[in-house]
Structure 1
């Protein structure tokens, strides 16, 4: 069954594509392809149901956590999962079979998210806020370990020109689940949602990582070369030296930095919606629905074309986000009636969701395809660590600028995105065989 469906989804009518993996690994590619899709679906679904930009913000507000603590969870979750990766890379390279590192990370993420539900049920105000922040830190560190390992294992088990499709199908299927969850939350918002309703969502989100860990443990992985202690080729300092010695990698880091506009601008669209439409609970359901529909419709298309040219996907997606931001800036500034339209912000987040999926799928496929074996782990870990540090700095700067003008931040990020589109387009095409 896996074999036939794999050939159908990847348009393989004759000989199987085995580019960039061993013949032995290629024999198990169909089964590994779907196991990774299933595990990704559950983790992405759980990630949406515990998203700090929406659900966790709502939950922390409900338990009266201070605003300064609420403002910490987004940068901590994103940067905390990126910055430590260069250190986790040293751990990963010491293991020939690496899937168990991913499984361990998934189990720790289950514990972290479940603890947030318990905290919300039993604590209030500042105490609840600090405990949730601590749980988010644990989640981020665990996510960092799993994220880095997953790219390494995908590079070992899935052929080049099939990796973008895997990510695309994963996001699309999880989008169906997200859509269902959003519709349920929209329906529930008509009633008086209590703390038990929100914590039930959190506990359900936590369980998705438990299921994913079981599925991922079934992947057939073949041993990698283990780094020798005396060989410092892939040491921490040597890994960072890639920024100086590898121009291709350096150009990718610059392009990826400029692509951050799609991730950083999302909270500011939510703030605009609250300012001009209101803070009714139904908005949370609408935003989650918009994200789910965007994933369902766009991810398979982005994934398919990312296997042909991931750098062009990065460029096209960030152009969409940039033009959207410029449009919103002029709408908020000059059109009073339109900026108060209730339909505007869910539509905007839907379009931004499409663009963000393209950026994510494009850059993840690009970094996996541009390197091989242990080099891949170094590329992913260093790029994520650098981006995590930059994300903290840019996020802090954006927060300061937002005190003056929220729409001004969106315009600034959109202009940076235009430069990012150009830099992405100028990168070499790593999918060429």
Structure 2
């Protein structure tokens, strides 16, 4: 534990001068150890997420074993929606617990087990059996993620003092981004050969990282208490959802966000379009991972300050960028003469699309925060997340359409959704103005 404690000491002054702003005094002395455990656990899970990557790496692996597009198209909707929807049903149960670190550890352990089972399925099966098995296991992974998500903020708030939380979670995100960037670079530069075996080993490492995180999190020193105010989230949605939907600006926001879910759903189809030659060979995967990682790192700089000036314009600009990239990709995917150079150009298209996706994420978080009154913010967030979770599940149908009508049709449909989002976002208020 001394190594973990030394990591935590990076964030805190010596014990005599340590200030604990909003956590109990008895929790104050354990902050360095807890900070190190948070940093280790978050870095491990975020890195594991990057090695799994349902937008790029899992689709490549499923394509390599001949899985149907319908199964591949379900990966992102299932991962995103099933991480959101169960939270509304379990939040009050978690709130009733005196120590919630066990919920986060259980969720991470479930994620680790699901990843190990995916590796086994990809080794044992091919075709539809592999595709649907992995899709089902990703659903289990997402349920584990919902447990971790619904419990983490409470545990962080009980174990780490205000003014230190962002530093710890931010550093974990930066380290994980560097790990994924290095992994993508190694694949792109052929330092690691782009072979199924290599990616399966990477997937297994991701599972091991989630297992390490689950074990490390159980060692947190979490004081009991703060379990009052537990309210059945599903009943709250029924009670307050109609009231939230009556707000015109909230309706426009949810519709905009729903239309722009396609920026998260499109990457697997873009990847598949670059390898749609029937040979199960997507040699540009490393470049795709590299492009996605760089876009994630740059996105906060590109959109951050603009969101504080106008989150409405960030949503509009992101929608315009998504429309241009997806419309162009759809057109190119239909041109037979472009098939020779499109695999080389597609990673650049993904880079622009992921910048658009980062803008959507940044813009919708800031817009909802600034739009809602303090007393409405929690219920607006819960209602919008629930609605988007349902939308994502429905959007999984595009995987079946890709099998029937082709990838170009799906990319074109997504472009239309982005274009519609531009016009809806135009009707949003400038919530940053007084």
TM-score of the aligned structures, taking structure 2 as reference length: 0.76
Could you say which residue in structure 2 is the equivalent of 1:52?
Answer: 54
The 5 Å alignment of 1:189-204 reads: 193=195, 195-204=196-205
Structure 1's 349 and 102: CA in aligned 2 closer, same or farther, altered over 3 A?
A: same
C-alpha contact (below 8 Å) 2:23/2:157 kept by paired residues = no
1:363 & 1:139 partners in 2: Cα distance? 25
1:423 & 1:89 partners in 2: Cα distance? 33
C-alpha contact (below 8 Å) 1:163/1:365 kept by paired residues = no
Instruction: Give the aligned CA root-mean-square deviation in angstroms.
Output: 4.5
The 5 Å alignment of 1:313-324 reads: 315-316=313-314, 319-324=317-322
Q: Once the two structures are superposed, what CA deviation does each residue of 1:222-244 show, in whole Å capped at 9, x if it has no partner? A: 5323346xxxx545222332222
Structure 1's 350 and 156: CA in aligned 2 closer, same or farther, altered over 3 A?
A: farther
CA displacement at 1:102 relative to structure 2: 0.9
CA displacement at 1:396 relative to structure 2: 2.5
Structure 1's 81 and 381: CA in aligned 2 closer, same or farther, altered over 3 A?
A: same
Structure 1's 399 and 36: CA in aligned 2 closer, same or farther, altered over 3 A?
A: farther
Q: Any stretches of 5+ residues in structure 2 without a counterpart?
A: 1-5
Structure 1's 131 and 251: CA in aligned 2 closer, same or farther, altered over 3 A?
A: same
C-alpha contact (below 8 Å) 2:312/2:363 kept by paired residues = yes
2:367 & 2:29 partners in 1: Cα distance? 24
1:290 & 1:121 partners in 2: Cα distance? 28
Structure 1's 119 and 280: CA in aligned 2 closer, same or farther, altered over 3 A?
A: closer
CA displacement at 1:390 relative to structure 2: 1.0
Structure 1's 210 and 363: CA in aligned 2 closer, same or farther, altered over 3 A?
A: farther
1:241 matched to 2:239? The reply is yes
1:107 matched to 2:109? The reply is yes
2:364 & 2:35 partners in 1: Cα distance? 19
CA displacement at 1:73 relative to structure 2: 2.7
C-alpha contact (below 8 Å) 1:116/1:135 kept by paired residues = yes
Could you say which residue in structure 2 is the equivalent of 1:98?
Answer: 100
Q: Once the two structures are superposed, what CA deviation does each residue of 1:339-375 show, in whole Å capped at 9, x if it has no partner? A: 94555321222233233234335555777897999x8
C-alpha contact (below 8 Å) 2:89/2:234 kept by paired residues = yes
The 5 Å alignment of 1:11-410 reads: 21=22, 35-154=37-156, 168-188=170-190, 193=195, 195-219=196-220, 221-222=222-223, 223-227=225-229, 233-246=231-244, 247=247, 253-275=254-276, 280-299=281-300, 301=301, 305=305, 309=308, 312=310, 315-316=313-314, 319-326=317-324, 329-330=327-328, 333=331, 340=341, 342-361=343-362, 363=364, 376=378, 381-396=382-397, 400=401, 403=406, 405-410=409-414
1:360 & 1:260 partners in 2: Cα distance? 10
2:221 & 2:255 partners in 1: Cα distance? 35
Structure 1's 425 and 144: CA in aligned 2 closer, same or farther, altered over 3 A?
A: farther
Structure 1's 216 and 131: CA in aligned 2 closer, same or farther, altered over 3 A?
A: same
Q: Any stretches of 5+ residues in structure 1 without a counterpart?
A: 9-14
- Name the SS of the counterpart of 1:405 in structure 2: helix
1:272 & 1:187 partners in 2: Cα distance? 22
User: Aligned pair count?
Assistant: 414
- Name the SS of the counterpart of 1:282 in structure 2: coil
Structure 1's 393 and 417: CA in aligned 2 closer, same or farther, altered over 3 A?
A: same
CA displacement at 1:141 relative to structure 2: 1.0
> Which residue of 393, 405, 414 corresponds with 2:418?
414
C-alpha contact (below 8 Å) 2:181/2:290 kept by paired residues = yes
1:27 & 1:371 partners in 2: Cα distance? 36
CA displacement at 1:113 relative to structure 2: 0.3
Structure 1's 87 and 422: CA in aligned 2 closer, same or farther, altered over 3 A?
A: same
C-alpha contact (below 8 Å) 1:63/1:124 kept by paired residues = yes
CA displacement at 1:177 relative to structure 2: 0.6
Structure 1's 63 and 399: CA in aligned 2 closer, same or farther, altered over 3 A?
A: closer
CA displacement at 1:382 relative to structure 2: 4.3
2:127 & 2:348 partners in 1: Cα distance? 34
Structure 1's 17 and 296: CA in aligned 2 closer, same or farther, altered over 3 A?
A: farther
